[in-house]
Amino acid sequence: MPPKYLYIIDIYSPVKLVDISVKASSNKNDIGFDSFVGSGTVAVSAKKKQKKIYWF
């Protein structure tokens, strides 16, 4: 059996990194859609930039 520390995985993307892609791939009144919301990093980034985003 592998040691327990091998099961600890940091799955969260840094919001600053996602901010770059949100800014580069959207315009002022665009609406975003994240079908693979995961930890919600894209939604947090969009909310900070006052953009509309839908996810499920």
- The sign of the dihedral angle between the CA atoms of 27, 21, 49, 41 is positive
* The residue type at 39: S
pTM for this prediction: 0.65
37-46 confidence digits (pLDDT tens): 888 888 888 8
Contact (CB, 8 A) for 45 and 37: no
Query: Domain coordinates of the chain in residue numbers?
Result: 12-55
Two tokens, residue 9: 């995985």
3-54 confidence digits (pLDDT tens): 666 555 556 668 888 899 888 988 888 898 999 888 888 888 888 888 899 9
Say how many C-beta atoms besides its own lie within 10 A of residue 13's C-beta: 16
